[in-house]
Amino acid sequence: MMEPFIGFRWQDGLDIFLLAVVLYSGMNLIRGTRAVPMLIGLGMVYGIYFLSGQLEIYTTHVLLQNLLGWSLVLVFIVFQNDIRRALTQVGTGPLFSPRERVAQSQGVEELVKAVTSLAARRVGALVVFQNEVGLNEYIDVGTRLDAQVSKELVTSIFMPSSPIHDGALIIQQGRMTAAGCFLPLTSNPAVSKTLGTRHRAAIGLTEETDALAIVVSEEDGMISLVREGKITRDVEPSTLRTTLMQLLVG
């Protein structure tokens, strides 16, 4: 009865366990990203390649063999942002201490009041909440603040008379770190052409990081929430407050 396990070492069991953990973690990291349909399509190509070899369809087999030789390089080129974003999430732990959670909660409350006021006056705004992935490369090109989040200060930053109203306001651990920050614009062709620069910058940043972005449109006063490269428009202040609390404070 024990013959199948003869020669099975504890190292083999550990090897299987580690492989399962890596595969499970990898599936969680790419779930909901553009990499999923890409991997499905690549799997179908590999299937055709295998069948063409078995059925001796030589021309197709040779063409696919040459194509698949470059498949790994193509995956890294096409999905470099998704891969970078996934790798930055490896090994990250809980973000906020209890004290930081209180500061974050208060910051969310003040921020919601501020964007509600800005939306009523149709003043454009772009606010980013840093999550686990650092945003220092964008903070460095902005104007340093290091201030507590308050409705009055947020509102004043985005008034047209402010010299830093065009950029993004970045909030870290419940404090305003920098304003006037310039973010990467999305290159996704599926994004509606009716969306302006602020919306495209919010989508672009959240495609590359796990940050949350809030956009107030100066055209219609609409509040939008952007997460993981996906935008939800016309968000009510109460819904925004609840969502931010769930995602940032827990």
Instruction: Report yes or no: 241 and 112 within 8 Å, Cβ to Cβ.
Output: yes
Same domain, 236 and 174: yes
Task: State both tokens at 40.
Answer: 């499905």
Q: Which of 59, 88, 117 is the last residue of a domain?
A: 88
Is 1 among the domain residues? no
Residue 157 belongs to domain spanning:
98-249
Same domain, 115 and 81: no
If you ran DSSP here, which 8-state letter would residue 184 be given? P
Higher pLDDT, 25 or 190: 190
Same domain, 178 and 78: no
pLDDT (tens digit per residue) in 65-88: 887 777 777 767 766 666 665 665
Nearest to 246 by CA among 229, 86, 238: 238
pLDDT (tens digit per residue) in 144-163: 998 999 999 999 999 999 98
Is 231 among the domain residues? yes
At residue 215 the predicted structure's pLDDT band, cuts being 50, 70 and 90, is: very high
Is 93 among the domain residues? no
Same domain, 111 and 228: yes
pLDDT (tens digit per residue) in 96-143: 555 566 667 788 899 999 999 999 999 999 999 988 777 888 888 899
Is 3 among the domain residues? no
Same domain, 118 and 54: no
Higher pLDDT, 49 or 94: 49
Same domain, 106 and 59: no
Task: State both tokens at 77.
Answer: 């080129």
**What is the spatial distance between Cα 60 and Cα 81, in angstroms, rounded to a whole number?**
32
Same domain, 75 and 125: no
pLDDT over threshold 90, residue 17: no
Same domain, 231 and 128: yes
Same domain, 244 and 135: yes
How confident is the model over 173-188, as a mean pLDDT? 91
Same domain, 181 and 113: yes
Same domain, 168 and 186: yes
pLDDT over threshold 60, residue 176: yes
Q: Which of 63, 88, 113 is the last residue of a domain?
A: 88
Domain total of the chain: 2
Same domain, 15 and 130: no
Q: In this structure, what CATH number is given to the domain that contains residue 187?
A: 3.40.1700.10
Nearest to 225 by CA among 214, 216, 234: 214
Q: Which of 65, 88, 111 is the last residue of a domain?
A: 88
Strands (E) located in 71-137 = 125-129
Question: pLDDT at position 97, please?
Answer: 53
Question: Which amino acid would we find at residue 68?
Answer: L
Nearest to 208 by CA among 111, 115, 130, 95: 130
**What is the spatial distance between Cα 168 and Cα 185, in angstroms, rounded to a whole number?**
12
pLDDT over threshold 80, residue 59: yes
**Max Cα distance, the chain (Å):** 82
Is 2 among the domain residues? no
